[in-house]
Structure 1
């Protein structure tokens, strides 16, 4: 398994994001329980406009497929997703 860092860039629709957030967090909670999602959370300095998700997967398409069911994505609240292989050099996270 490879570790991946995914950045979500959210739509500037705070009320809709707030309305869907509980379902979004439940979805991410299930990914965490399954071991696919290691950690996630928003970047506070972006005013809630971006978040970082750390996942394990075979490749980037595997990771994005795991995130395709995110209610934020379903509702059109994710404008862009960036995915990068993440090479953990110092320290450890998940299975890295």
Structure 2
């Protein structure tokens, strides 16, 4: 049964490489949205360590790892480190957007 996972990226300092690969990265993310896998994503705000957060529904951690490995940001060396965690959203307005994961966790 699907669960909710977060994928945390920390980028390298190579901004030019990130800019060059961004279109392919965004195309990858759009395919995940179309497939119903990616719930939300975006970079950290200014002043933060360069990186981003992806929230997705997947069957298990291995599926999220495969998604990360296929991301052009990972393939092209834009991501310095990444971390995957299962997340159990319980409260708040966004919880309804994560209903699949909430059902799986209850």
Tell me, in whole angstroms, the C-alpha distance in 1 between the residues paired with 2:96 and 2:62.
Answer: 23
Equivalent residue number for residue 93 of structure 1: 97
TM-score by length of 2: 0.83
Q: What does 1:6-21 align with in structure 2 at a 5 Å threshold?
A: 6-21=7-22
Equivalent residue number for residue 22 of structure 1: 23
Q: CA RMSD in A?
A: 1.3
Structure with higher helix content: 2
Equivalent residue number for residue 69 of structure 1: 70
Q: Which one has a bigger Cα radius of gyration?
A: 2
SS of 2:97's partner is coil
| Number of corresponding residues | 95
Equivalent residue number for residue 83 of structure 2: 82
Q: Residue 10 of structure 1: CA displacement?
A: 0.6
TM-score by length of 1: 0.91
SS of 1:39's partner is strand
Spell out, residue by residue over 1:32-67, the C-alpha distance to the aligned partner (whole angstroms, 9 max, x if none). 1001111100011426x1100001111111111122
Q: Residue 77 of structure 1: CA displacement?
A: 1.1
